[in-house]
């Protein structure tokens, strides 16, 4: 590991989307690229942390210098995160699917000739962030993300309390901001002390600043 202010600290980072199978060849996914979680994992490793990078099927490669645990589904991600604990900190940047298909089997769904589509029953996935925040192995610092389109501070503040995490990194992803899928981000850091607006900057710079902030909190 690199030496730095996070040397000796073990940090779990989730990243990317999850894929939830419909049958052996089809799945439900989302458009997360994994860019934010990847940049953050790289920034934490640069400061010397031992990073366990639990990633869904992302479209960007994982960073160097981290321990990669590749998963597909939300339930696999939850298992991998649980197995990676205890840790000094955990950051949840993954875009976890809210639902999975109930009873997805090992046989491909077929058209039955009547024109009637197969019923897809959805069941809610576990909330990994909330589970870790309220669980027995809770790291000393737990950070979640929130992408909102309106009333960012109010929603993110409520989310912080609901999920039981220490910090929420909130951003406004409404159309017109150019943030979703763009190279820049403008975040508000929500802590127990309140809301801090950070200026608009590159996603790598947001990650470096957040990693430094985490280092201050952990030392």
Q: Return binding residues for CTP.
A: 98, 108, 126-129, 145, 159, 163
- Is 146 a residue that touches ligand C5P (CB under 6 A)? yes
Can you say whether the dihedral through the CA atoms of 183, 27, 175, 15 is positive or negative? Answer: negative
Rounded to whole angstroms, the Cα distance separating 183 from 15 reads: 17
Give least dist CB 107 to ligand C5P, A: 27
Let me know: does 120 contact 139? Beta carbons within 8 Å: no
How many C-beta atoms lie closer than 10 Å to residue 190's C-beta? 26
Residue closer to ligand C5P, measured from CB, 13 or 48: 13
Site size toward ligand C5P, by CB under 6 A: 13
Give least dist CB 218 to ligand C5P, A: 19
Comparing CA positions, the residue from 124, 112, 119, 108 lying closest to residue 23 is 108
State the binding string over 62-101 for ligand C5P (x if CB under 6 A, else -).
------------x-----------------xxx-x-----
Rounded to whole angstroms, the Cα distance separating 53 from 67 reads: 6
SS3 string, 103-171, reads CCCCCCCCCCCCCCCCCCCEEECCCHHHHHHCCCCCCCEEEEEEEECCCHHHHHHHHHHHHCCCEEEEE
Determine the interface stretch with ligand C5P among 60-68, 110-118, 141-149, 207-215 (rule: CB under 6 A). Answer: 141-149
Give least dist CB 127 to ligand C5P, A: 4
Give least dist CB 55 to ligand C5P, A: 12
| Both tokens assigned to 186 | 């403008």
Rounded to whole angstroms, the Cα distance separating 81 from 7 reads: 21
The answer to whether residue 125 is catalytic is no
State the binding string over 25-64 for ligand C5P (x if CB under 6 A, else -).
----------------------------------------
The CA–CA distances, whole Å, from 81 to 38, 76, 103, 183 equal: 16, 9, 24, 28
State the binding string over 116-135 for ligand C5P (x if CB under 6 A, else -).
---------x-xxx------
Residues of this chain that bind ligand C5P (CB under 6 A): 14, 74, 92-94, 96, 125, 127-129, 144-146
Residues serving a catalytic function are: 30
């Amino acid at each position: 590991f690199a030496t730095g202010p996070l040397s000796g600290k073990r940090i779990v980072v989730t990243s990317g989307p999850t894929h939830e199978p419909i049958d052996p060849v089809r799945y439900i996914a989302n458009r997360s690229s994994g860019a934010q979680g990847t940049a953050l994992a790289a920034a934490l490793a640069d400061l010397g942390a031992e990073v366990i990078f639990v990633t869904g099927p992302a479209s960007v490669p994982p960073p160097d210098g981290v321990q990669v645990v590749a998963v597909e589904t939300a339930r696999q991600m939850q298992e991998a995160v649980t197995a990676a604990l205890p840790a000094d900190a955990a950051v949840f940047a993954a875009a976890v699917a809210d639902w999975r298909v109930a009873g997805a089997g090992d046989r491909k769904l077929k058209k039955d000739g009547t024109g009637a589509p197969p019923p897809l029953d959805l069941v809610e996935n576990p909330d990994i962030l909330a589970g870790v925040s309220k669980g027995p192995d809770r790291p000393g610092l737990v950070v979640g993300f929130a992408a909102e389109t309106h009333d960012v501070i109010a929603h993110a503040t409520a989310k912080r309390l609901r999920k039981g995490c220490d910090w929420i990194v909130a951003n406004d992803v409404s159309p017109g901001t150019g943030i979703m899928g763009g190279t820049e981000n403008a975040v508000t850091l929500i802590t127990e002390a309140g809301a801090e607006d950070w200026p608009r900057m590159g996603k790598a710079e947001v990650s470096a600043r957040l990693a430094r902030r985490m280092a201050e909190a952990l030392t």
